[in-house]
């Protein structure tokens, strides 16, 4: 008995493989999630690409490089490949069920826009897609983000949405309930790479946190920054509002990695499987 107790005590005392804090927190490999892929030790950061787009690579625990890969909502569960210095590394994408939401919009133009509005929407979409595709060399100041506002979470990421009974794009971000005028703070440092007043998103700010990690904030009542501004972590970028297609004041926050919109809840430790 004493030997057994000693053996158990020894086992408990043995060091286990220390998986990094960031890896554990961010690794949610599902459609609309994030895959953390270990690239091992190397003197310099290895270049990684997913779906032919450059991927965020960071040094973890001063020892190894890890790729933080955004998985588009459209990816099916199964094996995916990351291209690292000419070689492939596989990772597995699991399953996630996203629920449905039905929304009634009074302004029919916001559900079935006319030709003039469709042309505007297309133009604005390409402008925003271009912003998501930027890849700057800077290292993100922090990958564990601060909440941009203090309000409670309302609509989650990935909801399948029906506007007046018609299915539209799934919810690309995370909503916070907050009063109009509430200041919105940058969840990490970054550069303002796009500002707009869009048909669907209303007053909008894009912030580049570095290496394809990009935040978008929309439906703002007021924008407090200019194009090209550098924001510190916690810097105020604007105020909560209800501009664009919104049923009431709230903050809609998108997080994009390698041009894939992913669940912002992952970055604030609020992910629900």
- Per-residue string for binding with Zn ion, 60-99, x by CB under 5 A? ----------------------------------------
- Of 191, 203, 245, 252, the residue at the interface with Zn ion (CB under 5 A) is 252
Q: How far is the CB of 175 from Zn ion (least distance, A)?
A: 4
Of 141 and 154, the one with the shorter C-beta distance to Zn ion is: 154
Q: Which stretch in 5-13, 50-58, 174-182, 234-242 sits in contact with Zn ion by CB under 5 A? A: 174-182
Residue nearest to Zn ion (CB): 252
Taking the mean position of all CA atoms in its chain, how far away is CA 142?
13
Does the footprint of Zn ion cover residue 239 (CB under 5 A)? Answer: no
Nearer to Zn ion, 191 or 250 (CB): 250
Residue 175 binding Zn ion, by CB under 5 A: yes
Please list the residues that pair with 190 across neighbouring strands: 231
Q: Which is nearer to Zn ion, 189 or 220 (CB)?
A: 220
Residue 219 in contact with residue 254, Cβ under 8 Å?
no
Neighbours of 11 (CB within 10 A): 8
**Dihedral pair phi/psi, residue 19, rounded to 5°:** -80, 135
Contact 29, 257 (CB under 8 A): no
Q: What distances in angstroms separate CA 115 from CA 23, 122, 126, 143, one per listed residue?
A: 46, 10, 17, 41
Burial of 208 per CB tally in 10 Å (0-12, 13-18, 19+): buried
Contact between 261 and Zn ion (CB under 5 A)? no
In the bound state with Zn ion, the residue whose beta carbon lies nearer, of 185 and 252, is: 252
List of residues contacting Zn ion (CB under 5 A): 175, 252
């Amino acid at each position: 008995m004493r030997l057994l107790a000693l053996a158990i005590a020894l086992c408990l005392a043995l060091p286990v493989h220390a998986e990094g804090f960031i890896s554990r927190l961010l690794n949610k490999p599902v459609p609309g999630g994030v895959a953390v892929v270990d690239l091992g030790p190397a003197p310099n950061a290895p270049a990684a690409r997913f779906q032919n787009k450059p991927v965020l690579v960071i040094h973890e625990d001063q020892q190894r490089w890890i790729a933080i890969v955004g998985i588009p909502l459209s990816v099916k569960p199964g094996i995916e490949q990351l291209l690292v210095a000419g070689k492939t590394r596989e990772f597995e994408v699991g399953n996630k069920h996203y629920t449905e939401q039905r929304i009634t919009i009074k302004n029919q133009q916001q559900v079935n826009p006319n030709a003039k509005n469709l042309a505007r929407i297309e133009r604005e979409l390409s402008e925003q897609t271009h912003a998501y595709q930027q890849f700057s060399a800077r290292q993100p100041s922090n990958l564990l983000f601060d909440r941009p506002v203090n309000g409670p979470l309302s609509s989650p990421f990935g909801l399948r949405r029906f506007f007046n009974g018609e299915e539209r794009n799934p919810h690309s971000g995370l909503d916070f309930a907050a009063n109009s005028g509430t200041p919105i703070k940058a969840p990490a440092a970054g550069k303002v790479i796009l500002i707009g007043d869009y048909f669907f998103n209303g007053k909008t700010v894009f912030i580049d946190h570095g290496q394809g990690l990009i935040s978008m904030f929309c439906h703002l009542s007021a924008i407090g920054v200019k194009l090209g501004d550098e924001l510190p972590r916690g810097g105020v970028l604007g105020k909560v509002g209800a501009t664009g297609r919104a049923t009431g004041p709230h903050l809609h926050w998108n997080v994009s990695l390698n041009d894939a919109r992913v669940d912002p809840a992952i970055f604030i430790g609020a992910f629900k499987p």
